[in-house]
Amino acid sequence: MLGMLLGVFYREFTKINDYTEETVLSGLHTHVLVLGVFFLLIVLLLEKSFELTKDKRFSIFFITYNIGLILSVIMMAIRGCVEVLSLEISTMTDSSISGTAGLSHIIMTIAYILFFLILLNRINDVES
């Protein structure tokens, strides 16, 4: 639902503000659908085959992943709104937005590494 709402927000927000250039807001819809829906559907399918949740680290992965995803989406929305509204922001604020977005990517990378370690562990356990 959030992915669909963000797609509508992007379209309407840019239309209301007569904004026709490229903006980070255009990627929100896709990011939420791919990272928030399709990836988790893949996790669900892998759960059915390898029982990923039996690994004690799975909840750490899941929490870390969602924190990174939510933070990333928030930073994309902020960056996009700044672009569309043509806000004059200080260099420090601009750097803070970029830094926080970078931090969200680092958090998601940690989650992905943890996920693949869990998957590898469960594949090896199932084969044994």
Enclosing domain of residue 30: 2-127
pLDDT range class, residue 127, cuts 50, 70, 90: confident
Write out pLDDT tens, residues 18-49: 999 999 999 999 999 999 999 999 999 999 99
CA 97 to CA 79: how far, in whole Å? 7
Q: Which DSSP symbol is given to 18?
A: T
Write out pLDDT tens, residues 57-93: 999 999 999 999 999 999 999 999 999 999 999 999 9
* Inter-residue contact 61 to 115 (CB < 8 Å): yes
Look at residues 20, 30, 29 and name the one whose alpha carbon lies nearest to residue 83: 20
CA 84 to CA 23: how far, in whole Å? 7
Domain count within the chain: 1
